Structure formats: structure tokens, C-alpha cells
Amino acid sequence: MEADRATMSVGLRRDMELLDALAAGDRPAGLGVAALADRLGRTRSQVSRALRALQAEGLVERDEETLVFRLGWRLYAFAARTGEARLTSHAAPYLRRLVSALRETVHLCVLRGDQVLTVSSVSPPHAFRGLGWEGLTVPALTTSAGRVLIADWPPEALAALVRTRPEVRAGAKLSIRTEADLHQELARVRRHGYAMVDEEFEEGVVGVSAPVYDFRRQLAAAINVSAPKGRLGHRLREAGELTRATAREMSEALGRRASSIPRGDGGRAGRGEQAGKLS
């Protein structure tokens, strides 16, 4: 039994050495059997057998044209689930605090391609339990969370997003029709530190969102508040400022230095501006 454990331990360690070598990053296109064998001081036949076993489990993948190996889809799936679960768990007290302050449902959202995925929702005790948003995706352009999450996209990606955006549902009033509209909107998001939408996702619904940054200083998620306009519309800017402050606290707790997080305008924008505008 001890001998079996020792053999398994050695095999696992050797597999981890292979994965570490592929993850090193100095050869983004991947590494072949010969290169891996040379790096690890092992025979090519040993490396080839180990890679075949790892490939069968989705832990590595092989480019059939270049014959090099890269990390596989399953590792990325594990990482996504682990990171998402950690983020959701970490966000819970911040979402509850915002729910307590605003008495509205609060969501934690992440980006998946050009879609916004809700990974967690917290509602006030009195809230009517309607449609559950957890696990559902919506187009990024139509929501405040989506606009926050694409705020650092390069111009060419934003241009492609506008060209391929889905048609807006009947009754919605999407303010972004052109690439210029999108750049202007995202400049406001970056300046103020949060985004607002006024009946752009759905008639009668308003929302605000603010960005959460991780320890790498990268956008990790958005905290979103959405509610009927008759209930939240008159205090949408206040909700935006509270959401921004909560997102800043969460970002700092995730390891991002406070001095590098955009503070926004601190609510100095003109109070007479129409709700739903960030100018």
C-alpha cells in the first residue's frame, strides 16, 4: 500500500512538472515533446506517455498542425469555477450591505464574451421573488453592468461589438447606436466610476453598476443594482455612488491598492441632469 502511494505521488509530481512547464509562459504557442523532455531531463517516451494521459483527461491539448502541447480546457474550467466561487463568496457581505442601504436587489455580474452573466443575487427580505437572474446572460450593451465590464476593451473590440449587437427588445430605449455613442458612454463610466441605464434594458427598469478589480488590477466583476423606475429612478445617482463605494471596498479587500482605483466625480455632476445620463 505504501509503495502504491509513493508511486502515485511520484507520478502526480511528474505530471505537475509537465503542467508547470506548459504554464511557464515563455512559449505561448506551446511546447513539443522534445522541448519538454529537454527542459525536465526526462526521456521523450516518458513525456509522450504522460502527455497522452493528460490529453485524455482534457488537462492538456495538442495542436494537430504544429504538434505542440498547451494547457487544456479542463484546467481553465477548473480555474473559472474556482475563481468565480471565491469571488461570489467574497462578495456576499458587500452585496448584503448594499441591499440593506438601498432596499433593492443587488447582483454580482461577470463578463462571458459579449454577454453579462449574473453569478450571485441578494434581495431584501421583503422583496417579491420574481425571475431569478443567477446563471442567466444578457447582452452587455443593454445593461449598466455590461458597460462597466467592457470599459477597458480595445477600440477594435468595441467597434466589433457595436456592429454585431443584437436588436433591442420592443419598448427599450438603447442610447448606444454607433461606435461614437459607445466611446462617449464608456468615457463617462470611467470618469464617474459607475454606469447608469434608464429603461435601456427593459421598459420601466433602471440600474446602476460599478466595477470590482482583483489583485492583478484587472476588472473582475460588476456590482449591479436594478429596480423599477418608479422606486429607484429618483435616487439613481445616489445608488450609483453607494454602489461605487461598495465596489471600491471589495476591490481593496481583493488586494487592489486604493490609490489606483478610479474614484469618479464623487457625485459632483449636475443634479439637474436627467436620470440615466452619465454626462
User: What pLDDT band is residue 203 in, cutting at 50, 70 and 90?
Assistant: confident
Please report, in angstroms and rounded to a whole number, the separation of the first and last CA atoms in the chain.
70
Q: Does domain 2-71 have CATH number 1.10.287.3510?
A: no
Residue 270's SS3 state is coil
Domain boundaries, the chain: 2-71, 80-260
- Mean pLDDT highest for which of 26-30, 78-82, 236-240? 236-240
The Cα–Cα gap between 221 and 212 comes to 5
Does the structure show a pLDDT above 60 at 131?
no
Domains 2-71 and 80-260 share a fold: no
Among 52-61, 117-126, 226-235, which stretch is predicted with the lowest mean pLDDT?
A: 117-126
Does the structure show a pLDDT above 50 at 168?
no
User: What pLDDT band is residue 155 in, cutting at 50, 70 and 90?
Assistant: very high
Does the structure show a pLDDT above 80 at 167?
no
Q: Which residues pair with 210 in a beta bridge?
A: 223
User: Nine-digit cell at 94?
Assistant: 458587500
To the nearest whole percent, how much of the chain has pLDDT over 90? 48
Among 32-46, 74-88, 251-265, which stretch is predicted with the lowest mean pLDDT?
A: 251-265
Does the structure show a pLDDT above 90 at 96?
yes
Nearest to 211 by CA among 123, 121, 110, 125: 110
Does the structure show a pLDDT above 90 at 134?
no
Does the structure show a pLDDT above 60 at 265?
no
The CATH fold of domain 80-260: Beta-Lactamase (3.30.450)
Query: Is this structure's pTM higher than 0.85?
Result: no
Q: What is the DSSP letter of 204?
A: T
> What average pLDDT score do residues 160-165 get?
81
Does the structure show a pLDDT above 80 at 109?
yes
> What average pLDDT score do residues 29-56 get?
93
- Mean pLDDT highest for which of 20-34, 72-86, 93-107, 259-273? 93-107
Nearest to 70 by CA among 114, 24, 134, 110: 24
Does the structure show a pLDDT above 50 at 182?
yes
Cell 432596499 found at: 103
Tell me what pLDDT residue 79 has: 66
